[in-house]
Amino acid sequence: MPEAKHNLDKIRHSTSHLLAYAVKEIFGDVKFAIGPTIDEGFYYDFDLGRETFSTDDLEKIEKKMAELIKQKLKFTKTETTIKEALKKTTDQPYKQELIKELQKEGEKKVSFYRVGEFEDLCRGPHVEKTKELGHFKLLKIAGAYWRGDEKNKMLQRIYGTAFNTKDELQKYLIMLQEAEKRDHRKLGAEFKIFIQDDDVGPGLPLWLPNGAVLIEELEKLAKETEKEAGYVRVKTPHICKESMYLKSGHLPYYADSMFPPMEVDGIKYYLKPMNCPHHHKIFGSEPRSYRDLPLRLAEYGTCYRYEQSGELFGLMRVRSMQMNDAHIYCTEDQFEQEFIAVCQMYLKYFKIFGIEKYVMRFSTHSPEGLGKKYVNNAKLWQKTEAMVETALKKNYIPYVKVKNEAAFYGPKIDVQVWSAIGKEFTLATNQVDFAIPARFGLTYKNDRGEEKTPLCIHRAPLGTHERFIGFLIEHYAAAFPLWLAPIQVIIIPVSEKYNDYGNQVLEKMKAADSRAKIDKSDESLGKRIRTAEKQKIPYILVVGEKEQKEKTVAVRKRGEGDQGSKKIQDFISEIKEEIKNKK
């Protein structure tokens, strides 16, 4: 871990302990769960019995934390045996559970950290004294099931953040304010993109007409891009027999993330959680030669995954997802070229969507997980990971290496991007599979007539419609570029007298394949223009006596205002060019 990140983690971890100390001072008899650091701060989970935190409590807790910081208290570490640790935490059931787990894992001793009158089970590390803290903010209260399991008790979680300097903290808080305005759940409802309904079920979004436009435009972009790159499209069913997931190895690895099976004629069927086994079957449906490779099979396949209720979040964590999926079957010699071509496809998309900051998160295996979390083949893991890292380095693609987060069948790249306001998202994936093709008996004949097993690259540059559109809503604050905008042009007649001319303009827009509508409501011209601007429609065309006489339109462009009068055909030509270039 880089030194700066390590120091910031220490500050945030120490601040989470300080939060727990302050809660204890104010509320007395509290049951403490866990208080880890997270990407942008920290949290701590509490069990207050029947008492609940209110937003007013955050201010009281912050004040108490500030008092403790001024005392310049020291963080001190002690180690103790499991037996002593259990004695020490008799009134803390969550800590007892954690200690017993460590005991099962073979740990003989555990460590505690004390700050002032508060002591907590913790591996550390921490800052030396509380005077090193101070630039923090408590952000919100949320519910959280113990261990993330909805069968367990619901605890109260306080989220916070901390930074090295006051300036860094202020910049982050400003970003949070902007992020709140751009929240895709709020804008998704306001701009009629998607809804969620209790009768349909949690994590199962319904796409409204505006959302369907976004989906269709993204799918059109992906299909055009993939056609140019030599992909062929396939379609697969939404369910399949249990035997296929046993063969692929997804059962039992992914059982917790799959919906329970349904039984038909004594055979168990599962809703499809991923497309890869189906694509393997398509590859294996006929004999293959080295001349057929690379074979790139693409599908916008709908998948279903059982996310815990507490983890569902708008479009970002759902149970039904439409995935920009493909599987590339190639020889070892073709691997680097194919892998890098996928990375370059990401970069092309980043340019189109104005994504300027990104990093590839290169996830590798952990030797301790072989045979449990990962396919048990150390040599192939080392070889494949070396191939991926060499390809990234040779092509100057920025990446960070993360241990013990690979897919069970091979190393993977998770693509981290930052939105226009600096909010981080995980959007897409690029995974290397050295194991599963062999389980399906997939082979091709090389130039010497020998049967070989292909490598498989799993890739999803646009991720899922759900997550990617959630990102785009926040990235653009729902002010979508013209080519993507659900409504591209709105025509506003100055008065009722010019409705017929407005309809003529509308028909010409539609004939040019533009998504246009007309506002003939009784509201004033100014109010209708303001309404269109609030709807973030890229172009407003005002038509009145002059426009009708000259066969023109008065053009207003989002963010730029009045563009003057233009002949209808000239305007159509301009927007066609803008759409074509995806500006």
Residue 474: the pLDDT is: 95
Final residue before a domain boundary, out of 433, 448, 476: 476
- Does 462 lie in the same domain as 320? yes
Q: Name which of 339, 333, 327 is nearest 392 in CA terms.
A: 339
| CATH number of the domain enclosing 223 | 3.30.930.10
- Examine the domain organization and report whether 49 and 146 are in the same domain: yes
Out of 422, 447, 476, a domain closes at 476
Angstrom CA distances, 530 to 46, 466, 562, stand at 47, 30, 13
Burial 149-182 (b: 16+ CB within 10 A, else e): eeeeeebbbbbbbbbeeeeebeebeeebebeeeb
Q: Please tell me whether 330 is known to bind a ligand.
A: no
What is the model's pLDDT at position 428? 85
* 218 and 134 housed in the same domain: no
466 touches 506 (CB < 8 A):
no
Q: Let me know if residue 484 belongs to a domain.
A: no
- Asked if residue 515 is part of any domain, the answer here is yes
For position 4, what pLDDT does the model report? Answer: 60
Residues 330, 436, single domain; the answer is yes
pLDDT tens readout for residues 542-570: 999 999 999 999 999 999 999 999 999 99
Instruction: Look at 412 and 565; give whichever has higher pLDDT.
Output: 565
With 60 as the cut, is the pLDDT of residue 328 above it? yes
The domain boundary residue, chosen from 476, 511, 540: 476
Domain-located, residue 458? yes
pLDDT, one tens digit per residue, over 478-526 is: 999 999 999 999 999 999 999 999 999 999 999 999 999 999 999 999 9
Q: Is the pLDDT of residue 343 over 80?
A: yes
Residue 481 domain flag: no
Altogether, the residues listed in the chain come to a count of 583
**Residue 193 within any structural domain of the chain:** no
CATH number, domain at 99? Answer: 3.30.980.10
Q: What is the pLDDT of residue 2?
A: 55
354 lies in the same domain as 421 = yes
Q: Is the pLDDT of residue 307 over 70?
A: yes
| pLDDT exceeds 60 at position 163 | yes
Same domain, 108 and 55: yes
Give the confidence band of 252 by pLDDT, cuts at 50, 70, 90: confident
Range of the domain at 348: 202-238+271-476
Residue 375 in this model has a pLDDT that exceeds 90: no
In a domain, 247, yes or no: no
Total tally of structural domains belonging to the chain: 3
Give the residue with greater pLDDT, 136 vs 370: 136
- Domain check: are 503 and 436 in the same one? no
Split at pLDDT 50, 70, 90, the class of 272 is very high
Q: Residue 20 and residue 256: Cα distance in Å, rounded?
A: 32
3-class SS of residue 253 = helix
- Tell me, yes or no, whether 175 and 48 share the same domain: yes
Predicted confidence band at 181 (pLDDT cuts at 50, 70, 90)? very high
What percent of the chain is predicted at pLDDT more than 90? 78
Which comes out higher in pLDDT, residue 352 or 29?
352
For the ranges 60-69, 195-204, 263-272, 387-396, the lowest mean pLDDT is seen at: 387-396
Closest CA to 518 of 487, 554, 545: 487
Residues 221 and 128 in one domain: no
- We report the CATH number of the domain holding residue 569 as 3.40.50.800
Co-location of 284 and 355 in the same domain:
yes
How would residue 3 be classed by pLDDT, with cut points 50, 70 and 90?
Answer: low
Assess contact for 536 and 509: CB atoms under 8 A. no
Per-residue pLDDT band for 50 (boundaries 50, 70, 90) equals confident
Does the structure show a pLDDT above 90 at 66?
A: yes
pLDDT of residue 197: 95
Query: 255 lies in a domain?
Result: no
What pLDDT does 253 receive?
75
pLDDT grade for 376, boundaries at 50, 70 and 90 = confident
Which stretch of 9-13, 141-145, 195-199, 379-383 has the lowest confidence by average pLDDT? 379-383
Q: What gap in Å lies between CA 371 and CA 384, rounded to an integer?
A: 17
Residues 6+ apart with CB under 8 A from 360: 343, 392, 397, 398, 399, 400, 413, 414, 415, 416, 430
For residue 441, being part of any structural domain is answered with: yes
Based on the fold, state whether residues 214 and 304 are members of the same structural domain.
Answer: yes
pLDDT of residue 310: 76
**Is residue 123 located within the same domain as residue 225?**
no
| 458 marked as part of a ligand binding site | yes
Residue 1 has pLDDT above 70, yes or no: no
